Structure 1
């Protein structure tokens, strides 16, 4: 396998267990990367406010990618590069999700906004990002600040249909892709986990062929396509696994740590 100088990891379904736990094996694996001189950072569909709790346990010093990589922040969560969904597109997305009866969240750089505090995934998101929502009756005052819009629903088939309709509705003016079977993310155009990987590699002077990426969902495919080596988690769908160069164990069986064992064997 190609010698690796930089690892970029997804968070949910990859670095964390289904209960949002960062295991000791995962922390130890990242510590070994640091000791070997291999760079490490994370990129996620999570908002900026939901990334900070991972910085210290993983010793992250490199820039981090939030909102599927459309926002880049430093290790203190201060913006390095930030992009927004065009206002007209944001309104179109909210209208479409409303028509489908899907719970809607709007994220700015520092706020999570919802009209429904009793939404079926609201408590789950609170536990996940370790942050409380701001309850609003109208998204309109915040549409010009939208870093990400999320449609949340336990009806996976409905959300899959929403994804297809959303992609048609936004065209090339935004990116619409599910980050989980129950979350449909809409993020700014022209920026994804792949562009984040390219940016970080350029900042470090690392060739893309010497970058390893690891993830579990469709929104991880752009970074798989940019990196020399990619790992799909064992809990990923078959189509995601088919697009990776390697498949590791599930996130419940420390698949991240097992993948890093392989990376460490290559050295820098």
Structure 2
């Protein structure tokens, strides 16, 4: 196995607790990576604004990935690379999500848009990304600027069916995958967490075999497949765990920090 030179982590369900807290153990683990000369960054389905709170406490200097890796920004949140959902594809996505009756959000670079400010998961998202939504009557004026479209629902089975329908309907015109059991994300075509890992490896001048990834959901599988080492969180579903090279503890039991310790021990033996 290659010596690990870079760790790429998911955020929600992985790096932070269910309450969206970055623990002291997680901070310490990232600090130990730096002491060992191993790079660290994050990639998430979150909008860019929702990544800012991690930069200072984790001393991240490498680019980070937002919108499931379809946007790459530097540590000052300045865009390096950004992709958008084609407007026609965005409209098709909205139509399918409407058919399933889920709450719909549209994210642009700077805005979180919703037609329902009292939606079930609006308070959860406000707490997670530390921003408030803009309530609009119609998404149409924003279709040409869509970075991500989200369907939110507490009915996990419904959202799985919606995911399958969207994937079949969109084909390769966009990526449709759940980032949480209650969030279904539509993001630009040809970009995912796996392409982010490839981009970061290229920037660092290393092989993707020298990258370790940590995550918990379907949208993390793309980076599992791309990296040399992968860790599924203990809170992940069994099908996610089966796709990773390792399984760590849950995000309620410092699973992220424990994964980092495994990586550090493995490097010491290399």
The interval holding the TM-score normalised by the smaller chain is over 0.9
In the other structure, the counterpart of 2:24 is 24
Structure 2 unaligned residues grouped into runs of 5+: none
The question of 1:67 aligning with 2:63 is answered no
How far off is 1:194 after superposition? 0.2
Aligned to 2:33: 33
2:79 aligns with 79
Structure 2 counterpart SS, 1:251: coil
Deviation at 1:100, TM superposition (A): 1.5
Q: What RMSD in Å do the two structures reach over aligned CA positions?
A: 0.9
Is 1:45 matched up with 2:45?
yes
Tell me how far 1:2 sits from its aligned partner.
3.4
In 2, the alpha carbon distance for the partners of 1:102 and 1:249 equals 32
TM-score, with normalisation over the residues of structure 1?
0.99
- Stretches of structure 1 that go unaligned for 5 or more consecutive residues are none
Which stretches of structure 1, 4 residues or more, deviate above 2 A after TM superposition?
none
What corresponds to 1:171 in structure 2? 171
Aligned residues: 268
**Structure 2 residue 59 is the aligned partner of structure 1 residue 54:** no
Give the Cα separation in 2 of the matches to 1:98 and 1:226.
Answer: 33
Give runs of aligned pairs for residues 199-210 of structure 1, distance below 5 A.
199-210=199-210
**What is the CA distance between 1:99 and its match in structure 2?**
1.7
Encode CA deviations 1:121-148: one digit per residue, 9 max, x unaligned: 0011000100000110010000000000
Query: Aligned partners of 1:100, 1:241: CA distance in 2, in Å?
Result: 29
Supply the distance in 2 between the matched residues of 1:224 and 1:124 (Cα, whole angstroms): 27
Q: Per the alignment, in what secondary structure is the counterpart of residue 252 of structure 1?
A: coil
| CA–CA separation in structure 2 for the residues paired with 1:234 and 1:245 | 13
Could you state the TM-score of these two structures normalised by the residue count of structure 2? 0.98
Counterpart in 2 of 1:239? Answer: 239
Partner Cα separation in structure 2 for residue 260 and residue 7 of structure 1: 9
